[in-house]
Structure 1
């Protein structure tokens, strides 16, 4: 991290992932993000992966071979029943997150669930209530929330360095071919959950839960939303202007704009990366990130879960279940406004 002599940015308080106590992990769903997670655990943490489970036994066995995992199961029940699994990382399709989180919790396992934690806020509330009733840890794998970069941003906001935030700008767009699973309505496809979660999370980090939401959408085809542009209004009257799309690549930048200055990101805003703080009095400073991105960045969420579980905590203060539910409440409102329907 670098700062000018006139403006000093707070240092990150996040400890290195390798220092977190080692837990034994099971993985449900050997897809793309699970492979990145396994790589992060193997190369950037002291965590151990005991088993992986897939409905496709051949795919699960291949994943286990790729990442040095001792056991592959052809069903999820056998994995969550294992005595040598402390915590289950759930990376199955969005439509199964709620079911599989409940399965693991009922089996007495802590859970880290890929974002979105559930299809809607009611499902997320049910996961939170079940975890609390069982005395188990539950956390959404919103990896941005656990990165050193975002810890520094949190401190900047808490210290009021930017003054009162009136405007948040964020976009997350990526072009996908139509044979990608994000085009499958049966899997809750479209930009809202895969990409939109990030922009809403970022906006609410700065402005809190919105009091009003407006939005327009563009269809990808007759069955699927392809783009959403939204304005979230905060309790103080501030605006978050957000866009998310699967129809085109966009800059994927973000900015926090306040009465005293502005924070602007470089590169994809939700990933590790640099940002600049420019104050109205002429002072500025640049945060230079030393975290590389995928897969290293995913190590921080695993380390946070390991530390919290070892300490007996049921949630992470970096990203509480209330944070997850609040984001999903807003996503639910966007769905209502645009008539987007997901599978029951």
Structure 2
């Protein structure tokens, strides 16, 4: 039986060796009571180089070897999202708890498959939607719950990057789950649904590349409460702003709403109030997963599996309307 003592060291494994994996390894050093025990890659040389660079105790030259490592308590899946279902399923079948990078999978069906397997095997599973674990986001939600801006009536969020990818770029490749929606759009959709729950209405429009993936997508979500979310994701212009509008005020994230270190609270009849926070990092999601594992929890309260599935459902609805399919 897994040791669930509150002070045990949690031994992490990282599956894949790309940029996000390196960032996670760096930020994991900020989480007390954790170690990077192992890394797994499809090539031994890549695993060995990553292990040497980040101080991992062991390097595995296959995903299967990492999943079978008895000295790994939890694995962070850092492959491109086109491979999340395959790699996560492999690890779950090997009995490993998981933190899976977002977007969680390519679609709702494969996301539900992972959730079902994790629940059947009583294994912890969490989407690495780090935004929901960050202090600024949690503080903003606390203020909203306390009535600081009244009832939330609208959410606006945009995430765009200044990039001009050629036809060979992964963002344009449907075989790799390309397009702005899963790379960038998952942030504004998750942000809106974190505040308002699952929408009852979804409307979407997009500009597509010749390959059939979306370069820019606009979304409008409607909610039972009467609130509306207007969301944007796109490649070709840099924007990362969000506003939460309430009946008696608003909260502005002037830059980087997906990873904010500040926001401004505007209340009717009062001077604006800025809230500042420490720099953000992937350590907050690692802390949450570590806390849950020590407590013997099967999912996170901050990033519950129901919310992950609800976001994937919305993304599926958007793709159906804009005509994007994945190989």
Give the TM-score of the pair, scaled to structure 1: 0.89
Q: What corresponds to 2:285 in structure 1?
A: 301
Q: Residue in 2 aligned with 1:35?
A: 22
Match of 2:230 among 223, 238, 241: 241
Distance 2:296 2:110 in 1: 24
Considering Cα pairs closer than 8 Å and 6+ residues apart, tell me whether 1 or 2 has the greater RCO: 1
Consecutive unaligned residues in structure 1, runs of 5 or more: 1-18
Shift in Å, 1:187: 0.6
**Paired residue secondary structure (1:217):** strand
Partner of 1:209: 198
2:324: which partner in 1? 340
Equivalents in 2 of 1:218, 1:175: separation in Å?
16
Distance 1:199 1:175 in 2: 17
1:286 aligns with 2:274: yes
Partners of 1:21 and 1:147 in 2: CA distance: 24
Shift of 1:249: 1.7
Output aligned runs, 1:42-191, within 5 Å.
Answer: 42-176=29-163, 177-178=165-166, 179-191=168-180
Q: 1:20 to 1:207 in 2, by over 3 A?
A: farther
Q: Distance in 2 between matches of 1:196 and 1:223?
A: 16
CA distance in 2, matches of 1:137, 1:158: 28
The residue aligned with 1:195 is 184
Native 8 Å contact 2:253 2:260 kept in 1: no
8 Å CA contact 1:232, 1:241 repeated in 2: yes
Any idea what the Cα deviations from partners look like across 1:22-43, whole Å, max 9, x if unmatched?
3001111111100000000124
Contact persistence 2:67–2:96 (CA under 8 A) = yes
Structure 2 residue matching 1:276: 3-state secondary structure: strand
Counterparts of 1:259 and 1:323 in 2: how far apart (Å)?
25
Measure the CA separation in 2 of the matches of 1:282 and 1:318.
31
**Match runs of 1:9-24 below 5 Å:** 22-24=9-11
Q: Structure 2: how far apart are the matches of 1:328 and 1:268?
A: 22
Q: Does 1:256 align with 2:244?
A: yes
Cα deviation, 1:306-331, whole Å, max 9, x if unaligned, reads 11111111011001000101111100
In the other structure, the counterpart of 2:3 is none
8 Å CA contact 1:267–1:273 kept in 2: the answer is no
Tell me how far 1:342 sits from its aligned partner: 1.2
Secondary structure (helix, strand or coil) at the match of 2:178 reads coil
Contact kept in structure 1, 2:8 and 2:33, CA below 8 Å: yes
Whether the 8 Å contact between 2:31 and 2:286 is mirrored in structure 1 is no
Distance in 1 separating the partners of 2:305 and 2:179: 24
Does structure 2 retain, via aligned residues, the 8 Å contact 1:20–1:45?
A: no
SS in 1 for 2:29: helix
Aligned to 1:16: none
TM-score by length of 2: 0.94
Partners of 1:320 and 1:123 in 2: CA distance? 17
- Please, which runs of 5 or more residues in structure 2 have no aligned partner? 1-5
Give the 3-state SS of the residue equivalent to 1:221 in structure 2: coil
Residue in structure 2 matched with residue 229 of structure 1 by the alignment: 218
CA contact (8 A) 2:173 2:211 kept: no
User: In angstroms, what is the RMSD of aligned CA positions?
Assistant: 1.6
Match of 1:8 in 2: none
Partners of 1:102 and 1:312 lie apart in 2 by 21
The Cα shift of 1:21 comes to 5.3
